[in-house]
Structure 1
Amino acid sequence: MKRDRPTSNGSPWQRSEPGRRAPARDEEPRKPMPARNEETRLYGLNACLAAFARRPQALRKVYLTEARLPALKAVLAWCVKHRLGYRVVEEGDLDKLTASRHHEGVCFDLVREEPLALDALLQRLPAAPAPSLLLWLDGVGNPHNLGALLRSAAHFGAQGAIVPAGAGLDVSGAAARVAEGAAEVVPLARAQAADAALAALRAAGFAIAATVPRDGVSLYATALPPRLVLVFGAEGEGMSDAMIAAADLRLTIPGSGAIESLNVAASVAVVLGEWWRQRGS
């Protein structure tokens, strides 16, 4: 059974138009709401809490189960204060809203956060020669892999992930849930042209290392540069030949040989863990 929560002026949501709240007679004029294609739907408790902690002003709507009321008390207080609607719904309603059974009892609609330009990301980083770690994702598209690798990236201190501008890669609801809040820690940056992006990274003191399943130097027998961009390719196709050729270093994760390679999310965790170990952290 759905229950509509009132906004701070006592006006409940209108059931006939889910996602819209009833007009308030005493409400001050507000700026127009963003167009629907400027919003994104996020779900998973840790993902939603991390997004609210970093950018509460992006919040537009909240759907939650009754069991999540205690965990989301601060979020609901924000909704009341800022006259944003929230709705207590059943598990099945969230299944439909998120197209997933893994929503963990909460779903947020937020203004979509646009990826950074590469120059903007570089301006956030410590200047050379301070250690710094970035990822370059060449063809990675699976949202669960993206979420898992962002979680590893946050754990091991990576400061950003670079994706080609035309790749269409974005942090979807599924990716954010798997990332468990890491999508708010590791920003995505778009590289408009690979050659220019690689030149800008080298100018900022970074070495470029391509991770390849064979014919590279062993990860564990190599001193990794303190300022490093690690390039990972999609499963199956791998990274482009041009990116491999452009790299300063080619790394291979040694193993038993029983299978050719790890999946991209596992590879990220292994390589980042070794970079972290070598830094003595």
Structure 2
Amino acid sequence: MNDSRPPRGTGPYRGPPTQRRDKRERERDRQAAGPAASPSRPSPRPEARPADASEPRPPREQRIYGVNACLAAFARRPDDLRKVWLLESRIPKLKDVLAHCVKHRIGYSVVGDEDLQKLAASSHHEGLVFAMMPAQELSLSAWLRDLPAGPALALWLDGVGNPHNLGAILRSAAHFGVAGLLLPKDSPLALSGAAARVAEGGAEAVPVVRLGRADNSLAQLQSAGFLAAATVVRGGQPLHAATLPERLLLVMGAEQTGVDPLLADATALRLGIPGTGAVESLNVASATSVFLAEWWRQRKA
């Protein structure tokens, strides 16, 4: 049998010469069939579907480190635990956690200090790092719905952005029984590993509430019986001379700019902390502790 194909490896098989068509004829056929049929132009890929901004993104695991922060998170949210890394010296203190890991097939690794520093991105890991799902932030409506009747202190952070300040504020808030930490809608501030470590477990005791529009949020809180007070450096009523309401919304501003003037104008009180004047003001975390302590003192008195 006479085979017109070339030897293997010398080129593609195009059929016998009698079946080959003229170049112009092939070009005319391609034009008639349209661009999609042209072998020289690949079929266009389907357009990527844009993400729907209304669809919430699934939360990502976060690293929590520090013994008190990790143990408090485990005590409150054991089902959110995903992985544990620890120094060998921490094993006796973590027996319950490791037993939970074995029971639920959660991975844990005994590693060195250098590994923990990389995992935590910090040298302040205290020999322990957890991978956990982040704690859920509440909406203002959901938080108010479940808030018990009676005295309550809510803390609104306006412009505060340092995670270490957030951690220190959460620690004081847990100590003085703050019912909720309120963050503006557009604030980049959120609980991080650094904030959780500085909070020393306080991050698990205080719900974090994400606000909507400032005017609407303020109206909701006022309808729930909260009296709003803006904290100011100058011109405010001395804190220890003020009678604080049972339901207090305390608005703390950033150290450089203070509370937004429009928000401050919408509050019923302006409070300040008197001092020597040797420094302009206290650090926002320190100032928060003073305000919270006075509200707590008046409730107990």
Q: Normalising by structure 1, report the TM-score.
A: 0.85
Within-5 A mapping of 1:160-175: 160-175=180-195
Within-5 A mapping of 1:1-281: 38-127=60-149, 130-280=150-300
Q: Deviations over 1:135-189 (max 9, x none)?
A: 0000111011000011101101111110011112111000000000000000110
2:232/2:272 contact within 8 Å kept? yes
2:231/2:251 contact within 8 Å kept? yes
Q: CA deviation at 1:38?
A: 1.4
The structure whose Rg is larger is 2
The number of residue pairs the alignment matches comes to: 245
2:59/2:133 contact within 8 Å kept? no
What is the aligned partner in structure 2 of residue 8 from structure 1? none
Q: Aligned to 1:279, what secondary structure does the other structure show?
A: helix
Q: CA deviation at 1:36?
A: 8.8
Pick closer, same or farther for the CA change 1:161–1:66 going to 2, 3 Å: same
Structure 1 alignment gaps of length 5 or more:
1-34
What is the aligned partner in structure 2 of residue 7 from structure 1? none
Q: Which range moves more in the overlay, 175-184 or 163-172?
A: 163-172
Identity %: 60
Alignment partners' CA distance in 1, 2:77 and 2:146: 18
Pick closer, same or farther for the CA change 1:36–1:104 going to 2, 3 Å: farther
Q: CA deviation at 1:248?
A: 0.6
| Matched AA of 2:240 | Y
Q: Aligned to 1:228, what secondary structure does the other structure show?
A: strand
2:159/2:253 contact within 8 Å kept? yes
Structure 1 segments of 4+ aligned residues over 3 angstroms from their partners: none
Alignment partners' CA distance in 1, 2:181 and 2:213: 15
Q: CA deviation at 1:37?
A: 5.5
Greater relative contact order, per chain length (Cα 8 Å cut-off, separation 6+)? 1
Alignment partners' CA distance in 2, 1:203 and 1:81: 47
Alignment partners' CA distance in 2, 1:123 and 1:54: 21
Q: Aligned to 2:144, what secondary structure does the other structure show?
A: helix
Structure 2 alignment gaps of length 5 or more:
1-56
Alignment partners' CA distance in 1, 2:300 and 2:77: 33
CA-based RMSD: 1.2
| Matched AA of 2:299 | R
Pick closer, same or farther for the CA change 1:188–1:226 going to 2, 3 Å: same
